[in-house]
């Protein structure tokens, strides 16, 4: 591989690593603020799109 490809792969790996670290740091966290008597609360929850106990549908292969 040439140096441009190696550099692109290295930067991609670094970006993915940083994104994973940020995801792990803020997932399931709550942020609260009280400024001048105004209370603000936010929650960060990243969950799966399917229920964890969902059974995938069976694969049906039609006869030939």
Q: Which of 13-17, 22-26, 30-34, 54-58 has the highest mean pLDDT?
A: 13-17
Mean pLDDT of 12-33: 84
> Model confidence over 51-63: pLDDT tens digits?
667 677 888 888 8
Which spans in 1-64 are helix H?
3-26
Greater pLDDT, 48 or 61: 61
pTM of the model: 0.48
SS3 content of the chain, % helix, strand, coil (to 5): 40, 20, 40
Domain boundaries, the chain: 3-44
Q: Which pLDDT score, from 0 to 100, does residue 18 have?
A: 92
Percent pLDDT > 90 in the chain is: 19
């Amino acid at each position: 591989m040439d140096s441009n490809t190696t550099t692109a792969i290295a930067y991609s790996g670094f970006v993915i690593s940083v994104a994973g670290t940020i995801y792990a740091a803020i997932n399931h966290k709550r942020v609260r603020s009280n400024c001048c008597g105004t209370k603000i609360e936010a929650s960060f929850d990243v969950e799966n799109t399917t229920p964890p106990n969902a059974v995938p549908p069976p694969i049906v292969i039609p006869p030939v």
